[in-house]
Structure 1
Amino acid sequence: MTSYTASVGGLATDVQLPKGQGRFPAVLIRTPYGRHSHRAELRGWARRGFAAVAQDVRGRYASPGEWRPYEGEAADGADTARWIRRQSWSDGRLVACGASYAAHCALALALEAAEDARPDAVIAAVPALGAADTAREPSGVERLWNRAGWWAAHGDRPDSDASALTNALATDPELLSHLPLIDLPGRLGRQLPSWRGLWHRRDRGGLMSRAAQGQMPLLAVGGHHDHFAEDTVELWRRWGGPSARLLMGPWGHGLVAAPGPDAQPEHRVRLGELYAEWARAALEGRLREGWAGALALGGSPLWVAPDAMGDAYVPRLRLLRGAAFTADPERPVSSAELAVPADDEADRCVLVTPPLPRPLDALGPAAVRLRATADTPSADWVARLVALSPEGQAERIGVGIVRRAEPPGTSAEFTIPLGRPARRLRAGTRLRLEIAGHHFPAHARNPHTGDDPITATRLIASRREVDRTGLELRLTVLRNRPTPINPVLEIPR
C-alpha cells in the first residue's frame, strides 16, 4: 500500500492507497480530532480496495486557520472532494464517512455542497448534526455535561485535551454548580469565546431539514445509549436518497468500543468490514431501494428489523411517594445516580409497576403523559424510566426532559418523550418511573425564575404536584416474538 500527505486548500490531508495500480473508489473522513488517529482505519479501507483520505478540518492540528465549530465544513469538504476526483488514483466515486463531528462534515458535504462535489454515498455514525442540535434537547433544555466536556476538550484550540473537564472537576468538584454557567471558561482557566456563542445558537434542525434532499444512499449508525440516538433515527427516517440503512446497537457514543450494560456478545459487530461491504454495494447500485436496517434488542442476543410491528403497552403504576414534591436547584436530582434517596423531603415523584408476568420486548417510542402543576413561571419536567431486575439491579431504560412555562399554579397536561427503548425486559422485572424537576449535571438546572439557565445567577425552589390519576406511561412492545436478522447480511442488502 502507498501512503502520503498532501495539502488540499491548505488543509493537512493523509492519503492511503490500495496495493497495485489503477483507479479506486475513495473514502473521505474530515475530522477535528486529529487525522493521525485514523491511520489504522485508512489502512483498513485500503486493504478492502478503497483509496482512503483523512483530513484535519480548518484550524485543527496541522491545518492552519481559525477553528470555528460547525461552520464552513461544506465548502472545505467540497474543495477536498473535487481534489480527490482529479487525482490519477480516483475512479470518481466517493464515500463521505465519519462519526460524531466527522459525521457532521460528511452530511454537510452531502446536503450543502454544490452538486459536482457531493459524495456518492454517506456513512454517518452517531451524528452531531450542528451546534444548536448538540447543545439543546428538542424542547430547548440545555445539555450541560456533554457540551462542557466537549468545549473544555476541543473548543477554541488547535488540538485536544480529552481530560480537561475531568482534571478541572478533580480540582473543583462543584465546577458545574457555580453560576452563571456562561462564565465556565474562566473557571477552567481557558479562553473559550465560542462557548458564549454556542448558547446564542437556537437554529436546531438545519441539516435535518435538508435530509429529504439527500440524493445518495445513507448508512446511519448509532447507539441506544448515545445522546444523539434520536437524531440518528430521525436522519434515517427523513433521508430522501434511493436507499437508507439504519444500524443501532446497545452502545454509547463510542459504538462497539462503548457497549452498554445490556450488550451481548452478538452485538460486537465488526463495523469496519460492515462499512466496506455497504459502501461497495452502494457504489455499485446493489442496494435495494427504501428504508431498512437492523436494531439490536438489548438484554438478548437478537437483532431485529427497524419496522418490526409493535403495540402500545400501558402498565399499571403504583405511587410510592412524592405526588407533591419540591424541585430544588440547590439540591437537584442527579443524572448519574439511579438510587432514590429516602429523605423526608421528597425531591421527585416515584411510581412502580408490578413485576412483569412474562418477558417483554420494548422496541419503539416511549412517553409519559401527565397533568401537573408548578408554582414557578418556568419549570423543567424530567421523566426517567428504570428497570429493576428480580435481583434488585437498576438499569436506566429511558430519560426525557421538557421545559414548560405556565402561570404559577396552573395545571397543565403534557407529554415527555422517553426516546426509543430497545430492550428485552425479563419476567419479574419491575419498572420504576420518576418525575423530577432536574437532571443534573447532564442538563443545566432550571433556575425557575424564567431567566436563561446559562446566564442565571439566582435559583429558587419550585413546588410541584402531579395528578396521579392522569399519569400514563406508554411503551411500544413487539406484538410477537421478533424474527431475528443478521446485520452483517441485512445492512449491505
Structure 2
Amino acid sequence: MTARTHHVIAPDGVRLATDLCLPRSSGPHPAVVIRTPYGRTAHRAELHGWAARGFAAVAQDVRGRHGSEGEWHPYHNHEEEDGAATLSWVRGHTWSDGRVVAAGASYAAYCALVTALAHDGDGDGTPDAVIAAVPALGLAETAREATGPERLRARAGWWAAHGDRPDSDPEALETALARDPRLLEHLPVAGLGDRLERELPSWTRIWDDRRRGRLVLDGAAARLPLLAVGGIRDPFAEDTLALWRGWGGPSRLLLGPWGHRLTAGAAPAAPGRINLGALYVRWAKAALAGRLEHTRHGVIALGDSGRWYRAPGSDDGRSPETADALGRQVLTGAGRPGTDRTTPPPRTAQHAPGGGTAPGGIGDAESTRPTVWAFGTPTGLRLLHGADFTADPARPVRSDDLMIPVDGDRADRCVLLSPPLPRPLDLAGHAEARVRAVTDGPCADWAVRVTALDPSGRAEPLAFGIVRRTDPPDETADITVPLGTLGRRLDAGTRLRVEIAGHHFPAHARNPHTGENPVTATRLAPSRRTVLTGGGALVLPVTARRHYVEPVPEICR
C-alpha cells in the first residue's frame, strides 16, 4: 500500500493536493476523507492503517496550505465547497463503493463537520458519517471561553504557527518568547501580531467574530451518525459535549484522559487504554452498515484508572428530552436553592463529605450526584487567606504556576483548603463553583482553579473555570463559575485547594478593569475584591455507585 498524490479541482479551479492510499484487495471500498491544514503527509501512517482495514484512505491539504493552491483564511476558507468537491471526486472513482466517512481532529474536525452539514445530507458532496476529534468549532469558540474571557496563550501559539502562511512553524511563538519573554504582556493584545516578525493580518479579525454555536445548532438537523472524541484536558471539551448532545442523528461520545494533542494513532493495547485507530474503524464500519442504534451514547474515562462511566446525557431509557435536560441542568448552591432562577429546587439530597448537601437530578441519576463542599466550614473548604484581595493586571495570577503565596500580605487571590478525603472518590460529570463576592470595578473576571493535593503534597490540576461579569460596583453578586466536565479518581487523603482570582494569565488575556475591551485596551487598573465565604461552595460530580461500562461496545452499539 502506497499513498499517491493526486489533485482535486475545486469549483473555482484551485488544485487541492490529495494523498490516496488504497487497500491491497480489489474494490470497491468505503472511504475515509481527512482534510487538514497541518500537512497531509503527517497522516501517511494513519492512511495505511485505514487501508489495511479495507478503507480507501484520503488525506488532503486544505486550500492555501502546504501542497494546495489558493489562499489560507482559517474558518473563512472554502471548506464547505472544497470538502464537497473532494467527496464527489472520491465517489467518482471505481475504487469507491460510494460510502464515505469524513474524519479529522481540531481544525480538520471542523472541515469534516461543515462538509457534513452544508448540503442537508443531499448529493455526492455529503459524507455518510463523521468522526470529529477534539473539534475546534469556529473562530468564536476557539478565541474565547463561552463565558467571555479571551484565550490568549493558545490562540497566539496557533496563529503564530499556522496563521497567514502556507506552511507551519510549531515553535514560532516559543522562538518569539525567547527573544521577548514579556511578549504576551504587551498592549494592546490586538497588536500582538506586529511583534512576531512576520505579517499576521488575520490576528485582529479573530476577536471580532462572536457567533458561537453555529455547528451545534446545524447539527440538530443532521441525520447521519457522529462520533465525537474529546479529552478531559482539552480546552474545547465542552464544545465536544455540546456537539454530541445536540446532534440529530445517532451520536457517540468518547471523552478520555487526554488533552488537545489527540491523535488517531494506535496506542498500545494495554489495560485502561484504547486503540483509537481500531475504535475508529470499528465504529465507521458499524455506522456505514447502519448498525448503530439511533440514540445518544457516550462514555467518560475516570482519569488514567482504566475505568469508564456512561457520560451524563446518554440515553438510558428516559426520553431524549429528559436526558438532555438532565445533562444540561445547572446545579443549585449549597443549601441555597433558588439562587439561580433558571434552576428548579432539588428533588433529593445526599449528605456530602464537605459538610453541605448534594442536590440530585443531574446527569446519570443512577450513578452521579453533585456533591457540595461549602466555603468557610471546617469540614468543607476553610479559608486560608485572601477573603479580601487585589486583582492587579500588572502582576496577575499566572496560569502556568501552581504555587500560591504563603501568607496573606498583598493577597492576589482567595485560597481555601479542604480536610483530607476520608475515602476515595470518583468524579465523572459537570463541576462548578458558586462564589458570592464584591468588586469595585465595572467589569471583572472571576477565575476559579481547583487543585488536588495528594497525601505527599504533590499538586495536580483538577478543574478550572473563568467568567466575565459586569455587576454593579460594590454590590454583592452571586456568581456561578462552570468548571467543565471531570473524569477523575481522587485517593483517600487528597486535599482540595480552591483559588479564586481575577486573572489567569497568560492562558487568558488580562481584564483591564476599566470596562474597556481587553483586546484593544492599553490602560490597566487594579481591582479590589471581597469573597464572602457564606453561601459559596464547590460542587463536584461524585459517583454514588460504580456503574462501569466497557467503552468500545458502548460506542459501537
Which TM bucket (shorter chain)?
over 0.9
- Please give the secondary structure, in 1, of the residue aligned with 2:20: strand
Q: What amino acid sits opposite 1:53 in the alignment?
A: V
Q: 1:479 offset after TM fit, Å?
A: 1.3
Q: What amino acid sits opposite 1:322 in the alignment?
A: G
For the residues of structure 2 that align with 1:450 and 1:396, how far apart are their CA atoms? 31
1:145 aligns with 2:150: no
For the residues of structure 1 that align with 2:198 and 2:410, how far apart are their CA atoms? 39
Please say if residues 45 and 51 of structure 1, whose CA atoms lie closer than 8 Å, have aligned partners that are also in contact.
yes
Compared CA separation, residues 256 and 16, structure 1 to 2 (3 A): closer
Q: Deviations over 1:114-170 (max 9, x none)?
A: 521211110000000001110000012100011000000000000000000011111
- Quick check: 110-119 or 324-333, which moved more? 110-119
Q: 1:298 offset after TM fit, Å?
A: 1.1
Please say if residues 382 and 400 of structure 1, whose CA atoms lie closer than 8 Å, have aligned partners that are also in contact.
yes
Please say if residues 46 and 264 of structure 2, whose CA atoms lie closer than 8 Å, have aligned partners that are also in contact.
no
Give 1:101's aligned residue: 107
Please say if residues 250 and 267 of structure 1, whose CA atoms lie closer than 8 Å, have aligned partners that are also in contact.
no
1:399 aligns with 2:464: yes
Please say if residues 247 and 293 of structure 1, whose CA atoms lie closer than 8 Å, have aligned partners that are also in contact.
yes
If the length of structure 1 is used for normalisation, what is the TM-score? Answer: 0.96
For the residues of structure 2 that align with 1:123 and 1:357, how far apart are their CA atoms? 41
1:290 aligns with 2:354: no
1:388 aligns with 2:394: no
For the residues of structure 2 that align with 1:89 and 1:256, how far apart are their CA atoms? 27
Give 1:300's aligned residue: 305
For the residues of structure 2 that align with 1:354 and 1:450, how far apart are their CA atoms? 39
Please say if residues 142 and 155 of structure 2, whose CA atoms lie closer than 8 Å, have aligned partners that are also in contact.
yes
Q: Deviations over 1:388-433 (max 9, x none)?
A: 1111011111110000112321221120000011111111111111
Q: How does 1:2-81 map onto structure 2 within 5 Å?
A: 3-9=3-9, 10-71=15-76, 72-81=78-87
- Higher relative contact order structure (alpha carbons within 8 Å, sequence separation ≥ 6): 1
Q: 1:269 offset after TM fit, Å?
A: 1.6
1:281 aligns with 2:292: no
Give 2:208's aligned residue: 200
- Please give the secondary structure, in 2, of the residue aligned with 1:213: coil
For the residues of structure 2 that align with 1:257 and 1:271, how far apart are their CA atoms? 6
- Please give the secondary structure, in 1, of the residue aligned with 2:278: helix
Q: What amino acid sits opposite 1:110 in the alignment?
A: A
Please say if residues 256 and 268 of structure 1, whose CA atoms lie closer than 8 Å, have aligned partners that are also in contact.
no
2:118 paired residue among 112, 117, 124:
112
Give 2:426's aligned residue: 361
1:122 paired residue among 125, 130, 139:
130
- Please give the secondary structure, in 1, of the residue aligned with 2:520: coil
Q: What amino acid sits opposite 2:255 in the alignment?
A: M
What is the number of residues matched between the two proteins?
486
1:245 aligns with 2:252: yes
For the residues of structure 1 that align with 2:296 and 2:178, how far apart are their CA atoms? 46
2:262 paired residue among 244, 255, 259:
255
For the residues of structure 2 that align with 1:384 and 1:256, how far apart are their CA atoms? 28
Please say if residues 427 and 486 of structure 2, whose CA atoms lie closer than 8 Å, have aligned partners that are also in contact.
yes
For the residues of structure 2 that align with 1:281 and 1:330, how far apart are their CA atoms? 55
Give 2:385's aligned residue: 321
If the length of structure 2 is used for normalisation, what is the TM-score? Answer: 0.85
Please say if residues 2 and 19 of structure 1, whose CA atoms lie closer than 8 Å, have aligned partners that are also in contact.
no
For the residues of structure 1 that align with 2:263 and 2:67, how far apart are their CA atoms? 29
Q: What amino acid sits opposite 1:90 in the alignment?
A: S
Please say if residues 115 and 127 of structure 2, whose CA atoms lie closer than 8 Å, have aligned partners that are also in contact.
yes
Compared CA separation, residues 267 and 136, structure 1 to 2 (3 A): farther
Alignment root-mean-square deviation, CA: 1.5
For the residues of structure 2 that align with 1:132 and 1:3, how far apart are their CA atoms? 36
Give 1:261's aligned residue: none
2:399 paired residue among 326, 335, 338:
335
Q: 1:257 offset after TM fit, Å?
A: 9.0
Q: What amino acid sits opposite 2:537 in the alignment?
A: E
- Quick check: 148-157 or 13-22, which moved more? 13-22
Q: What amino acid sits opposite 1:277 in the alignment?
A: R
Give 1:457's aligned residue: 522
Q: 1:4 offset after TM fit, Å?
A: 2.2
Q: Deviations over 1:438-464 (max 9, x none)?
A: 000000000000111111111100000
Q: 1:485 offset after TM fit, Å?
A: 2.5
- Please give the secondary structure, in 2, of the residue aligned with 1:63: coil
Please say if residues 430 and 540 of structure 2, whose CA atoms lie closer than 8 Å, have aligned partners that are also in contact.
yes
Query: Which runs of 5 or more structure 1 residues have no equivalent in the other structure?
Result: 259-263
- Quick check: 290-299 or 399-408, which moved more? 290-299
Q: What amino acid sits opposite 1:67 in the alignment?
A: W
For the residues of structure 1 that align with 2:40 and 2:231, how far apart are their CA atoms? 24
Please say if residues 359 and 426 of structure 1, whose CA atoms lie closer than 8 Å, have aligned partners that are also in contact.
yes
For the residues of structure 2 that align with 1:128 and 1:134, how far apart are their CA atoms? 6
Q: Deviations over 1:242-264 (max 9, x none)?
A: x1111111111123699xxxxx9
For the residues of structure 2 that align with 1:6 and 1:23, how far apart are their CA atoms? 19
Please say if residues 387 and 429 of structure 1, whose CA atoms lie closer than 8 Å, have aligned partners that are also in contact.
yes
Please say if residues 272 and 305 of structure 2, whose CA atoms lie closer than 8 Å, have aligned partners that are also in contact.
no
- Please give the secondary structure, in 2, of the residue aligned with 1:252: coil
Q: Deviations over 1:290-310 (max 9, x none)?
A: 111321101522122214421
For the residues of structure 1 that align with 2:89 and 2:23, how far apart are their CA atoms? 18
Q: 1:265 offset after TM fit, Å?
A: 5.9
1:189 aligns with 2:197: yes
1:83 paired residue among 80, 84, 89:
89
- Please give the secondary structure, in 2, of the residue aligned with 1:369: strand
Compared CA separation, residues 250 and 75, structure 1 to 2 (3 A): same
Q: 1:381 offset after TM fit, Å?
A: 0.4
For the residues of structure 2 that align with 1:112 and 1:478, how far apart are their CA atoms? 40
Give 2:360's aligned residue: none
Q: What amino acid sits opposite 2:207 in the alignment?
A: W
For the residues of structure 2 that align with 1:257 and 1:111, how far apart are their CA atoms? 23
Give 1:422's aligned residue: 487
2:536 paired residue among 455, 471, 474:
471
1:492 aligns with 2:520: no
Q: 1:467 offset after TM fit, Å?
A: 0.9
Q: What amino acid sits opposite 1:169 in the alignment?
A: L
